[in-house]
Structure 1
Amino acid sequence: MPRFSILSTFPPTRCGLATFSRSLADALLAIGSDPIRIVRAVDDLDAPSPGLAAGIAVVGELHVDRPDRTQATARLLSAADVVIVQHEYGIYGGDDGSDVVAVLESLTSPSIVVLHTVLAAPTDGQRAVLERVVAAATAVVVMTEAARALLIRHFRVDVSRVSVIPHGVPEWTTPTAGHAGDRTTVLTWGLIGPSKGLEWGIRAIASLGDVAPAVHYEILGETHPKVVAHEGEAYRERLEHLADELGVADRVAFDSRYLDADALAGRVGAADLVLLPYDSRIQVTSGVLVEALAAGKPVIATGFPHARELLHPRMIVAHESPASIGAAVRAAIARAEPVEARPQGMSWTAVAGRFRSLADSLVAARVARSA
């Protein structure tokens, strides 16, 4: 089993990449990895790094305002056999996150770069940075076929080094049946911010007053820390005001807690439908989407690439369209929408096994070259 290090945001940071990296690290440990070394990508909003816990050692930080730390970061990461680098434009310093390139180019161990965003219309700077990131990596992972197609179409990359490994999903153990009898519960969860399109969901709920049992919309999750830093809770307050203005405050519930895995599983298990009304047209990976499907929940989503890849067309709705969302919810309730096929081969254990197999091949190739 190769020894791994990971460069990424990481708990206690609350963001999708941090959650992804912790889940992957836990799964690698579960299938037999040695303790995993973490270098946290951090900014001024982050809490201090924790120490060693459950086989995971946070050995350093890469701050967005400290490009002089790239060489030290590379040395810390290269103490492992294989380095996994999570890539997102917003988590590293420099123009378009360019500081991570110097880290990658300084590694002495093979690297796997996981691309969480692949843009169809990147700026010149974004294209240049991503192409340098891919060129510096030993192997590249995307999580959907849509992301792979975009990468090949819009960037100059070596296709032979690009693999598709899906986003991992938890092995939910809670019942999948929703509320009984008195209501239909529609759930959206995750960190809250203006790009989530929650206002369209609230407006859709307002159009469903005649549906029985009554449709209730639960919005679960705290406001994204970067949104709070920019505008406080103004977005959530606008949503609450909208629900009141539309007369549905009694059918729209806000829960601003950041729940642990068990508590979240319970809330997802109690829902009847999951709604992802995201404004984004370019999201190639959604952890919430695959987790909802893993829980056996029908999902209604706007047509971002990952949703189009996994959902039946009748479950795809127009962006920024309460009418389209409302019609889809109404139709799903009327026909007792069957559950989408649950994702196969996407448990975190299975995903970790595929990362381990890829890492094994990189280590073997390195040994063969040095022989």
Structure 2
Amino acid sequence: MRVLFIGTYVPKECGIATFTSDLLNSVSGENNDVHCEVIALTDPSETYDYPEEVVFQIQRDKLEDYYLAADYINQSDADIVCLQHEFGLFGGNAGDYIFALLSGINKPVITTMHTVIREPELEYRVSTEQLIKYSEKLVVMSQAAVDMLKNVYKTPEDKIEIIFHGVPDYPFNNCSKYKKMLNLKGSPLVLTFGLLSQNKGIESVLDALPEVISQYPDLVYLVLGATHPMAKKTQGEVYRQYLKNKVSELGLENNVVFHDKFVEKEELCNYILASNIYVSPYLSREQIVSGALTYAMGMGKAIVSTPYWYAQEMLSDNRGLLVDFGDTDGFKNSLLYLIENPEECNGMRKKAYDFGRKMTWKNVGKQYNTVFGKALKHYNTYPRVQNRFNFLPNQLPEVKLDHLKLLTDDVGIIQHTNLGVPARRYGYSTDDVGRALVALTQLTDSQKKAEEFRELITTYMSLLEHAQTDTGHFHNFMSYKREFLDEKGSEDTLGRTIYGLGHVVSCPYLSKNIRTLARILISKSRSEMENLGSPRAKAYAICGLYEILRAGVDADEFESVFKLHKDVVKPIDTLADRDNFESIIISHADSLVDLYEANHKEDWNWFEPTVTYSNAKLSESLLLAYNYTKDRTYREIGLATLDFLTEIQWKGDFFDMVGNKGWYSYKGEKPIFDQQPIEAGYLTQAYVSAYEIVHERKYLELAKYSFEYFLGRNRLQAVMYDYSTGAVFDGLTSEGMNYNQGAEPVICFLMALSSLNEHIHEAFSTLLQSKVSDGLVTGLQRNEKACYQ
């Protein structure tokens, strides 16, 4: 059995780090067949030389790390995940970053709850309920915690296990040997230890000491421990200085000692063994576990404590003395009672020590291994449906153009929105108009549809005609005042425009006038098209010109319209030159092949040293070039690069697009965020083209999965498509979904939807009738067929 622990870890100076280390050693020490590793929580300001069992690190406040850790866990050979949970360990609201990890893994989770809140604020209740949902078993360390889980959070009883906090196994002893070893004074020596913070309540003990010391002047009160890192970060040493000032005010300088350091476990145990009395003066009742109190019990110390929940339970049956919170007289009387009644004190110590035998790490390790075994057996016997996407619909959405129409006025498409409301200050973009024409013409499968879309298509064509420059290029950005903001757009703008115009030319249901105008605009751009340098611009141009050639549209078809309007339309010598389009496709496809040959490596099948944006359009353009020319080099590289995009983005049950925060360079780290929906749209189109050309079912399956990225099949399980309006949210960020709904995402959604719509019946029947194709990337979830059934 392989166990992967998640928590803080030594050498970090933190109680849970020590607990995780002790638990790991006890689990592996009790069974040679158990192998343990650790995912450690860290802080950006911390650098640790972790031991070899730490295999992955999560920066506490970096959400991406939680997602990456989930990926690591899924790809590892771990059988069980053992999570150490304390709200403050994890980033987010009430530590909710951890759910980015838990929601994404397919291993059983055993959670040790170091805190359970009886009267939680809303965010802590929600976080606890989520934790319960994702955990196979919950381990708590007291009956009080069990009762709270059942009564407050309605947790099923069979999900809860009680295993005490572990303690080292030392013989019952007297103190003199260890006092001498540490050169400590104090008769008696009273000890409080642990990371120092204002909740510690040490001032209550200090206020009680003057009267005790007046009778027993050799008493020493040792406060052992560094200031808690979080307290130090936010408040500095305010609390420690407050305590030191109180010591001076009370005249206790000779009787109170502060050891401001974090001691390792062996040294800590020596300090406990050297002490006569342990005092635990916490101020909060909601303390569900205390490692310090547990250690003191396990080593047979006389104990005085405030009645927080854990202490009440552990010190029952006369295993210690309880004093009310802040009760100075109570602490004074309890200390005097223990000093003046040695036989009763020893009896109390022995009861605590005997109870502590249940809590030795050896016994704790055995109990955890038993829970691990039960959970794993239960998990395997009754396998959970690991499909996280069972909310997906079993059919594609209907075409809905409400949002596209909302963004469109009598000029063109408003580029961006502010929370779904068109933001006029951003104006218009030729890029959007060109691709919108692709989407609309793909959806125009009848004369009725042509009439329905006529106004939109005419408006978009009008903008393109206006945006074309004298050289045949196109302006890209126009302000809301109808003023162009550039001398000309980028090469990609030209490519996207040709892409859209090519679809207009090849759409038989559109009017001859509109199609003729599109052909003229393309022909006027010929010299600009021939001299493109941008790989993506070339890919767009290939896709647009391919549509004309594929449809067999010849210039003669437009000749009558051309003659009727020769006073308006300037004659273009190359209007009928079909060979020009073919030569441009071959030239651009060859240059993409050259680019691939220059940059691809054995483990990097891509055109460039970095995967950036609009990626799948490069692969698709070569596949279309192959389909027209039958040059098998285009096919080979088109498929190889498309498969590479699958390899780096398909996670087994969802697509994880390359984020634009740095892009993905060879030998670099793939960024998760920000993910853009254009990648899902273009992937869907490319997979559909691949399926149509090579007839391999895996591409149709992948097309469906990449399209479902919009519907929630993504890392955040976020539904990006608004079924009521047809809008699409702008992207996925580390903070969640971008709630703006601009032009590009809805256009790319419509392009993908129209491509997949042609094969949707076949796509669904493929998923239901066949096993996952052998060629599909390893990890496709077979149980997804059941979801669609």
**TM-score, length-scaled by structure 1:** 0.93
Deviations 1:283-329 (A, max 9, x none): 01011111101111011000001110011466000111221111111
Among candidates 300, 307, 329, match of residue 296 of structure 1 = 300
Larger CA Rg, structure 1 vs 2: 2
Tell whether the 8 Å contact from 1:176 to 1:297 is kept in structure 2 after alignment: no
Query: How many residues get paired?
Result: 365
Give the Cα–Cα distance (whole angstroms) in 1 for the partners of residues 45 and 147 of structure 2.
Answer: 35
Quick one: distance in 1 between partners of 2:242 and 2:331?
Answer: 20
Q: Which residue of 1 aligns with 2:120?
A: 122
CA distance in 2, matches of 1:33, 1:188: 39
CA contact (8 A) 1:222 1:255 kept: yes
d(CA) in 2 for partners of 1:48, 1:263: 21
Q: CA deviation at 1:75?
A: 3.0
1:48 corresponds in structure 2 to: 48
Structure 2 partner of 1:334 = 340
Q: Conserved in 1, the CA contact under 8 Å of 2:12 and 2:48?
A: no
Q: What CA deviation, in whole Å up to 9, does each residue of 1:152-174 have, x standing for no partner?
A: 12113222211111111111258
Alignment of 1:158 onto 2:156: yes
Amino acid in structure 2 at the alignment position of 1:237: Q
Greater RCO between the two (CA within 8 Å, min separation 6)? 1
Aligned-partner SS, 2:242 = helix
User: Counterparts of 1:240-259 in structure 2 under 5 Å?
Assistant: 240-259=244-263
Task: Show structure 1 runs of 4+ deviating over 3 A.
Answer: 173-176, 178-182
Does 2:64 align with 1:68? yes
Question: What SS is found at the alignment partner of 2:128?
Answer: helix
Matched, 1:267 2:265: no
2:249 aligned with 1:276: no
8 A contact 2:172–2:300 mirrored in 1: no
Tell me by how many angstroms 1:45 deviates.
Answer: 4.1
> CA offsets, 1:84-103, max 9 Å, x none?
00111101111101111221
Answer with 318-327 or 171-180: which moved more: 171-180
Partner of residue 326, structure 2:
320
Deviations 1:198-218, CA, capped at 9 Å, x for gaps:
111111112212323632100
- Distance change in 2, residues 1:132/1:49 (3 Å): farther
Quick check: 2:39–2:57 contact (8 Å CA) kept in 1?
A: yes
8 A contact 1:45–1:225 mirrored in 2 = no
Q: Deviations over 1:42-77 (max 9, x none)?
A: 22343335241xxxx211122222212223212333
Cα offset for 1:15?
1.4
Which amino acid is 1:352 matched to?
Answer: G
Do the aligned partners of 1:184 and 1:214 also contact (CA within 8 Å) in 2? yes
Are residues 7 and 182 of structure 1, via their aligned partners in 2, closer, same or farther at CA, if it must alter by over 3 Å? closer
Residue deviations 1:112-154 (CA, integer Å, cap 9, x gap) = 0111101111001100110111111111111110111112121
Matching residue within 86, 106, 113 for 1:88: 86
For residues 214 and 69 of structure 1, do their structure 2 counterparts lie closer, same or farther at Cα, with a shift above 3 Å needed?
same
Q: How does 1:189-208 map to 2 (within 5 A)?
A: 189-208=193-212
Query: Does structure 2 conserve the Cα–Cα contact (< 8 Å) formed by 1:89 and 1:97?
Result: yes
Shift of 1:107: 1.6
Match of 1:348 in 2: 361
Structure 2 CA distance for partners of 1:72 and 1:192, relative to 1, 3 Å: same
Is residue 359 from structure 1 mapped to residue 372 from structure 2 by the alignment?
yes
Contact 1:59 1:76 in 2 (8 A): no
Q: Determine if the alignment matches structure 1 residue 218 to structure 2 residue 222.
A: yes
Q: Is the 8 A contact 1:207 1:326 kept in 2?
A: yes
Q: Secondary structure at the match of 1:62?
A: strand
- Partner AA of 2:146 in structure 1: R
Describe the SS at the equivalent of 1:345. helix
Is the partner of 1:207 in helix, strand or coil?
helix
Equivalent AA in structure 1 for residue 122 of structure 2: D
In structure 1, runs of 5+ residues without a counterpart are none
Query: Cα gap change, 1:334/1:28 in structure 2, threshold over 3 Å: closer, same or farther?
Result: same
Alpha-carbon separation, structure 1, partners of 2:25 and 2:105: 24
Query: Do residues 368 (structure 1) and 381 (structure 2) align?
Result: yes
Q: Secondary structure at the match of 1:167?
A: coil
The 2-side partners of 1:320 and 1:231 are apart by 22
What SS does the aligned partner of 2:215 have?
A: coil
Distance 1:278 1:269, change over 3 A: same
Q: Distance in 1 between matches of 2:55 and 2:272?
A: 34
1:33 & 1:307 partners in 2: Cα distance?
Answer: 36
Contact 2:297 2:352 in 1 (8 A): yes
TM-score between both structures, scaled by the size of structure 2 = 0.45
After TM superposition, give the deviation of residue 182 of structure 1 in Å. 6.6
Mark the runs of 5 or more structure 2 residues left unpaired by the alignment.
384-789
The amino acid across from 2:57 in the alignment is: E
2: CA distance between counterparts of 1:3 and 1:359?
Answer: 10
Please state how far the C-alpha of 1:28 moved relative to its aligned partner: 1.6
Whole-angstrom distance in 1 between the partners of 2:210 and 2:73 = 51
Q: What letter matches 1:289 in structure 2?
A: L
| Contact 2:192 2:222 survives alignment (8 Å) | yes
1:88 counterpart letter in structure 2: E
Change in Cα spacing, 1:335 to 1:17, as seen in structure 2 (3 Å) is same
What value does the CA root-mean-square deviation take over the aligned residues? 1.9
Residue 182 to residue 347, structure 1, CA distance change in 2 (3 Å): closer
- The answer to whether the Cα contact below 8 Å between 1:276 and 1:301 also exists between their aligned partners in 2 is yes
Question: Which of residues 131, 134, 140 is equivalent to 1:136?
Answer: 134
2:243 maps to which of 239, 250, 261: 239
Q: Secondary structure at the residue paired with 1:106? A: coil
1:33 deviates by 4.7
CA distance in 2, matches of 1:182, 1:234: 27
Q: Deviation at 1:242?
A: 0.7
Contact preservation (8 Å) 2:167, 2:298: yes
